Amino acid sequence: MLKDLSPLTYRAMTRRPRLQDALMFGPHEDVEKENARLRKENRLLRGEREVVKKATIH
């Protein structure tokens, strides 16, 4: 099966896990900032959802 792959495809397949592993180590400041932003957005969206729920009930 591997002999059917082009060298570029094989290189891309073997390189991808290394890139993903690299994301698991080192500083995670960007990830923490993104998580904080997403939590804030979730709070806002939940609040908006509650307003819409109450508006449709009345």
* 4-31 pLDDT per residue, tens: 767 777 676 666 556 556 555 666 678 8
pLDDT reported for residue 41? 94
Tell me which residue range forms the domain holding 48: 2-57
Total structural domains within the chain: 1
DSSP state of 6: -
DSSP letters spanning 3-57: GGS-HHHHHHHHHHHHHHHHHTSS--HHHHHHHHHHHHHHHHHHHHHHHHHHHHH
6, 11, 47, 54 from 57: Cα distances, Å: 60, 57, 16, 5
pLDDT reported for residue 32? 86
Percentage of the chain lying above the pLDDT 90 cut: 28
24 vs 56, residue with greater confidence: 56
